Each structure stands twice: as C-alpha cells, then as structure tokens.
Structure 1
Amino acid sequence: MLDGVFKLLGEYGNMVPRYTGPRCLSERLSVGGCDLCQTACPHDAILIPQSVVIDPAACTGCGLCVQACPSGALEYDVTAPLNAVREQKTGAARGQEPEAKLVCSRSEEGGKALPCLGRVTVSTVMAAGAWDVPLTLVHGDCGTCTLGGPDVPESVARVVQDANLLRGATGRASRVTVRPHDPARAGSGETVSRRGVFGALARGARTMAAQSIPDSPLPFVDWSEPEDRVPSEWQWRVRALRPAPAPDAPVHWPAPVVDDTCIDCPVCANVCPTDAITRDVQPDGSVTLTLALAACTGCRACEASCPPQAIRMQPEWRFEALEALVLLRDSGNILQ
C-alpha cells in the first residue's frame, strides 16, 4: 500500500501546468499579447514579463489558467480525465450507474476526483457526448475555496457551452450537469486538498488512490516535431466530433480567412502559436498562405496582428475542411 501512497503523493505534487513558450501569444509577439492566464489566476501565481512565469509556491493547480489559455500554451494531461469518463462509461455498460461523474477534491462525494473542476476542458465534455454518457461535474463550496475560488462554476459553464457549440455539428449534445456537492452524500468520497493530502492519506490511502485521477507530469514539447505543435486539447476536440458529421456539415471552429487587402507580409504566420498558418514564397515570386484548420486554436493572434487588417475570423467551416489544408491566399506573381 505504501507504494500507492508515494505514487499518489507524486501525482498530487504536480500542481504547475506545463508551459510551452512557442505557443504563447506573448512570446510570439502578437499585437496586444495576452494576459488571460494571469487574469484568470485567483492566486496571483502568474507573471508575464514577456513569457509566462508561474510561481510554484503560489500555484494550487486549479487549472483556471489552462481553461483560459486560447492557444494551449498552458496544459495539464487531458487524457487523465478522458480516461476517467471512459472507465465510468464502461462500468455503466456492466450494469453500474449509467453516468460519469467528476468531482473536485474539496467535495466529499464519491466519484473520480480532480484537484479542481478548473481542470475540466472542452475535449472532456465533448468526449462524454461522443460516448453518449451523461456527465455530472460536482464542485465544492467555491465561494470559500482557497484552491480554485468563486469563479470556477462560471468558468466550467463556459467550457460546457463551448463544447456543445462544437458538438452541434454531430446532432448530439453532451448531457452535462454542473452542481455543488450534496451534503447528504458526505462521506461517500475522500476529501483531497493540497494542504490536507497527508491527513487524507492517513485516513484512507487505498480509497483515495482509487478515486483520484492521476496527474502525472507532461514531457516538454519537441517543437521540431510538427505533430507536437498542436495541443492535445485541440487534437482531442477533433477526435471527439463523433458521430462524425456529414462532410458539408458546419462545424463551429473559428479560424481566419484573408481578403484582397493582404500585402503578403509574414506577420500572420509568424504570430500563429501552433504554426497552423504556413506562408510559402514560390520561385515566380508568388506567395501562398495555407491553413491547417485542425491545428488552429482560434486565438485570433493573426487577426489582431495583421497590419492591413485583412484577416477576419470565420466562425463555421465544413467538417471536411478539418482533414485538409485550406488555401487562404494565392497572390500570383508579385515580381511582375
């Protein structure tokens, strides 16, 4: 049992999210930069002198900065909550309670426990809809919580709304209930907090280990690998568009389009945090801009930074566009 205790201590010790500098709009020098993570943090744990700096002593691992980040520069392991939902779906198929439930660590209800519901992302909610399993998200007393704070329920509600905007193309919304914990169910689960983890371990390490969602550290991103440039969150959003929409079905996936006032400068490609926009100069002097739609996070850095303001965000795209390169512009021979 001690091995499980030490493993759990290691998992709950990983509070600070992974930061990938090339995805950060501040490091990309996009016009206006971005301070959404800093604004979302309830503990003043984030500074942005130019790139994001997180104070590990102040960070509680609530995840609100990750929910707010528009480009995936801040991340936790999305596969952990996804697997927790899938495991509960499998259990329902064996005759158990026909729902998946994720609970915050401050709730005393049973269920798969996250440190805070600020860790819930769009892809997890979308996956619940793809698997057609109802999902209940249970938070504690956020008004007095020193881990996540009072903004958590509203932030989670936005995540659910965004997930169902995306799932609209599938014709099957995710069935999600967000609610506070039920005092009548107190004692059915272990309370796990950053400060109280040792006490909780002493009371019942085996039970807590069974309920807690692993939070293992993520490896650093190798930017030389193109497939690593797209955050896992956005990769899973595409995978969770199931049942698959018709090829011409409109999918809510805000991404840029370019008009004829474009001056063929490289700014949009330079500021794109996932290299979703590619600028190629042909031998004849023409410039082409292409977009890998599935890699676009909709951060709007290109729109904000475009010198002639030739870019606008198109909110919906045909589903089939997620599987191919989109030609944004072909300038023709600019040397003539």
Structure 2
Amino acid sequence: MAPLANAFELFEKIQSADISVHPQRCVVVRNRRATCSKCADACTSGAISVRDNELFVAGEQCIGCGTCATVCPTCALEAHRPNDVQLATAVLAAARANGGEAVIACRRLVEAAADALDAEKVVAVECLGRVEESLLTALAAAGARRVVLVGRECEACEHVAGFRAAGAVCSTMAELMSAWQCPTTVELAEKLPSSVRAAGPKGYDESRRNFFFRAQEGARLVAGVAAEAAVREAVGAPEEAEPPLVKVMDDGTLPHFVPDRRERILDNLSALGEPEDRLLMTRLWGHVVIDAETCNSCRMCATFCPTAAITKFDDDDGTIGIDHYPGDCVLCRCCEDICPTGALTLYDEVFAGDLLSGTVERNEMKPPKYDLTSPKKSLFMFRDILDCPDIYER
C-alpha cells in the first residue's frame, strides 16, 4: 500500500462532484501498516488501483458509481448525485408507487428497456454497487415487502465488481432480516420485474431517468453541488471542516468518526424491534478478541481505531486495558494489521443483541514492562535485549 503522504495526496485526486473524499478517515492514511484495499478492489472503472504495493488514483476515470463508498468501512469516500438522502427519497417513492416493491436497476438495463418502463416505479443507478445497507434497512423499516436489485454479472462488463459488491450487501441483508424476523426480502435479479412495466403509451420519462445518472455537463455539475448546499443550509447542518492532516488528540489517540451510514443502519434496525440474540456474520461489524498472554499492553489498537470501537481505560487503582464496543466496529481490520505481537484477532461474527444494546467488553491488560511514552524506552529495551545494564545515553 502507498506510504502515508502518497495515500493522502492520491485520494484527493478522486475528489469530484460525484465523490467526496475524507483522507483522515482512511485507515491507510491513519497507519501505513493497514492493509485495507477495499476501494481499489471494488472500483468498477479502475480509477483506484493497487500496483506493486502502492495506491494509484486516476480521477479522470471515475464514473461516480459510488461502489467505492459502499465498500469503504470508514466512509472515507462518500457518494453524491445522488447522495444517500436523494437516493433513499426516490427509492421510497418508487416503492410506494409499486405496491411496496422497490426496484433499483442498472442504468444500462433501464436504457435498454426505455419506453417499456413506468418511470414512477423504478430507480436507475450507474451501478448496483451504489446500493448499501443503510438504504435497504430504511426500506425495511418503512415497510417495503420486497427489494429487487436488477443487473447482470457479466465478466465483459467493467461494472462486474459493483455487481459482486451488491451481492455482498444482499447477503448481509439476509442475515439482518432473519435475525430481526423482518419479512422484507432483498434479492438480485437479471431481469426487470413485470410490476414496473409501463401501463400506457407514455413510457419512460427521459428527464427522470437521467436524474440519477452521472451528469457530464458543467451546468449540471454546478447544479448538483448547489442543491446539496441548499439542503445542508435548509436543515441547518454545519459544513465539516476537517484538518488537512491527522493529528493525535490529548488522550493519545487519533480522531474518531462513526460513519453516518452505520448509525442509520442501527437506527433502522432499532425501529424493527428486538432481534434474536444470535451470532451474525456480515460484512459490517467485527468482534475483537485479545490474547492476554501475547499482548504487550501497547494499546496501539485503541490509538488507531477509526471509530472508537476500541478505547483505552486507566483506572485509579492502576488497572489498564481497552474497552471494545462491537456496535461501532466497522471491520476495517486496522487493529489486527497493526498489532505488533499478533495478540489481537478480529472476527466477523457478532451477537445481534450487542449491536443495539451498547454492550461493551472490558479487556484488562498487564502493566507494560516499559513506559511507552518515555523518551528513554529504547534505552531500557536495549538493556534487556542485550542483557547488559551498562548501556548509557550520551
């Protein structure tokens, strides 16, 4: 993966009206030992790639499909035009018009069907990779009985990675709907359902269809940005002002950020009621297990955790350790990557009940042999390693 500075600069190259970039949230920017490459693996156009262990970004190749934002665990990448609110509003309206069945389809299939479709009942996206769980759980909470994602897994299509990302999202939704005993189904299909067929000669409205496609004209780029600014102003949301570099906070950890999408998922699941208290295996959450004998108590896992799913505690009686909240874990695996002794394992199974209850697991640790904040720690370490107390500083 790219060095720290390179990763930071390269990500900014993909900034556009389609994709917002927050490098400070990227685990590779936060710690160069992190191995996450999910955005590059899922990029449908090759705009983000990893070659010879370095990250490359070709902003001019970005088609704004939003797949990278779907797979990014920390929301370092966010999709726009449509943004999450716009897309959810359109899909909810289409579901109501279609008797509770939401149909989201690949742009190419919609264009091919053209006049045969009812514009009020289907929403087109550049790629199915744009669809993620905060949207789908919102549909479930709103009472949608069925969600159909329409696309084709064609190896010749450059969007095949997006189709596979949609498949992972569908698998996660199946787990969640089962645990919450919700009747909403989410499925992938290769053909548009008959329910969205046009009833009369009017056919598909060109202006509506193109609303959700990536705009090429400069005027529409400006309009998209202006519209989002207007919405932000209307709801009184302050502009985010992120520092240009990641800086350590007073508690010795890097800044934390829980993605809005993750919070919306938990809110939507809460609206569905209480789940069965069973293990879930999804792409969204993880569960940290620490081997106390192997751990050296450095607590770097807490220092670099992007969401504060892992936090430090220092009790008055001298007890130290970390607290772990699975509900805030985003399965980025940064903690596992950077653990210097391999004492930490991140599992992709969590108890459904822990996600909403706020359950925190306490992990006590033995006091570290060396004060890791001391400027003399290297001196003390070398004395022990060489078994020679007569080593001095100059």
Q: Deviations over 1:173-201 (max 9, x none)?
A: 54123234559959535353547779xx9
Question: Structure 2, unaligned stretches of length 5 or more?
Answer: 1-15, 112-116, 233-238, 244-248, 370-394
Change (3 A) 1:167 1:129: same
Amino acid in structure 2 at the alignment position of 1:322: L
Amino acid in structure 2 at the alignment position of 1:329: N
| Alignment partners' CA distance in 2, 1:142 and 1:215 | 35
Q: 1:266 is matched with which residue: 287, 299, 310?
A: 299
Q: 1:298 is matched with which residue: 322, 331, 354?
A: 331
Partner residue, 2:381:
none
Amino acid in structure 2 at the alignment position of 1:137: L
Q: 1:20 is matched with which residue: 16, 19, 22?
A: 22
Identity among equivalent pairs (%): 26
Coordinate RMSD, CA, aligned: 3.9
Question: Structure 1, unaligned stretches of length 5 or more?
Answer: 1-12, 202-208
Partner residue, 2:169:
159
- Structure number with bigger Rg: 2
Partner residue, 1:136:
148
| Alignment partners' CA distance in 2, 1:256 and 1:183 | 42
Aligned partners of 2:309 and 2:328 also within 8 Å:
yes
| Alignment partners' CA distance in 2, 1:284 and 1:330 | 12
| Alignment partners' CA distance in 2, 1:101 and 1:55 | 32
Shift of 1:280: 2.7
Tell me the secondary structure at the aligned position of residue 163 of structure 1.
helix
Change (3 A) 1:143 1:47: closer
Amino acid in structure 2 at the alignment position of 1:21: P
| Alignment partners' CA distance in 2, 1:58 and 1:294 | 35
Change (3 A) 1:312 1:112: same
Tell me the secondary structure at the aligned position of residue 309 of structure 1.
coil
| Alignment partners' CA distance in 1, 2:193 and 2:277 | 48
Amino acid in structure 2 at the alignment position of 1:121: E
Partner residue, 1:5:
none
Tell me the secondary structure at the aligned position of residue 323 of structure 2.
strand
Aligned length: 303
| Farther off after superposition, 171-180 or 261-270 | 171-180
Tell me the secondary structure at the aligned position of residue 164 of structure 1.
helix
Aligned partners of 1:221 and 1:228 also within 8 Å:
no
Change (3 A) 1:216 1:180: farther
Change (3 A) 1:328 1:144: same
1:326 counterpart = 2:354: no
| Alignment partners' CA distance in 2, 1:69 and 1:245 | 28
1:126 counterpart = 2:137: yes
1:245 counterpart = 2:261: no
Q: Deviations over 1:4-44 (max 9, x none)?
A: xxxxxxxxx822x2222232121121634222212222323
Change (3 A) 1:121 1:215: farther
